[in-house]
Amino acid sequence: MSTARQHPSALDVELVGLASPTEERNPASAELDALDARGMVEVILSEDAKVAAAVQARSAEIAALVEVCVAAIADGGTVHYVGAGTSGRLGVLDAVELAPTFDADPSMVAAHLAGGPGAFLAAVEGAEDSAAQGAQLVESECRAGDVVIGLAASGRTPFVRGALEAARAAGMPTALISANPAAALAPAADHPILLDVGPEVVTGSTRMKAGTAQKLTLNALSTATMVRLGTTFGNLMIQVRPTNAKLVARTVRMLVQASGTAPEEAARVLEAADGSVRVALVALLSGTDAEAAGAALADFPRDPRRIGDPAGIRSAVAALGGTLTR
């Protein structure tokens, strides 16, 4: 896809002209440059402390989007993050970190940054101004059953608008995560998550409160989605592939935490389970061997519709006559 700059349309220019809270002056930091370092840090952190509450206020909307993402991934679809600048980079960070934590891959969650991968480290001039490139991205990378989530702090980025409009035209569920309660792009999203974080400490610097709010939202969204897909037991990661000594040690420690078994026994059972954390965990919790645990798990595969036990661990242990005491 070409990243050459295209002249913005009249609508793009109109959207850019709309005010966003992130570009208003913050009275709390009006004299920021007159403060000493301690004073600056206190102002910055005082404003940052407001962000978590702003995200918490949108928990119902985030949860609704979790359900959409879970359903899409369970049916073989992909969740796509689409953004520019800081917003887009945060999407990339969230997507790539799902691999080591939950053994996820781009077929589950993929991130797309205006200007292409190179824009992660260096700004690509004008990349965010092209709605056509956003639409082209969706047409080339997305398919029926996918979900497209636009990330735009200002809520008006043309690249994101093009992607959302193309996705909606193709019948895909759409969402928007923005730090503008009056985001111009909200009508293009089935699930608008509009975070009211107020003006930035440095006017217009959305890498600050707006970026933190988007990161918190993505943390909650993707983590809840992955947990619903059966990648944890309680708060312990079980979708880990112990491919090196460090990961084996971490996995054994997790098995000890979950079962109360001695490390030596947990390591032995993990080896007998051919490195399968789920099989080893069921064997330890039920007091059976790896073969019996594997057979029980075959009857209870990961299933997000099994609320309370999406990983199937509890059901398999119960089927083997075990009892969870924790």
Tell me which residues are annotated as active site.
97, 128
Query: Between the CA of residue 13 and those of 7, 9, 88, 114, 134, what are the distances in Å?
Result: 10, 6, 21, 18, 16
Residue 80: beta bridge partners? 110, 148
Listed in sequence order, the DSSP H helices in 142-198 are 158-169
* 8-state DSSP, 230: T
80 contact partners, CB below 8 Å, separation of at least 6: 109, 110, 111, 112, 138, 141, 142, 146, 147, 148, 149
Give the contacts of 66 (CB within 8 A, at least 6 positions apart): 221, 224, 225, 228
HEC per residue, 304-322: CCCCCCCCCHHHHHHHCCC
49 neighbors 77 (Cβ within 8 angstroms): no
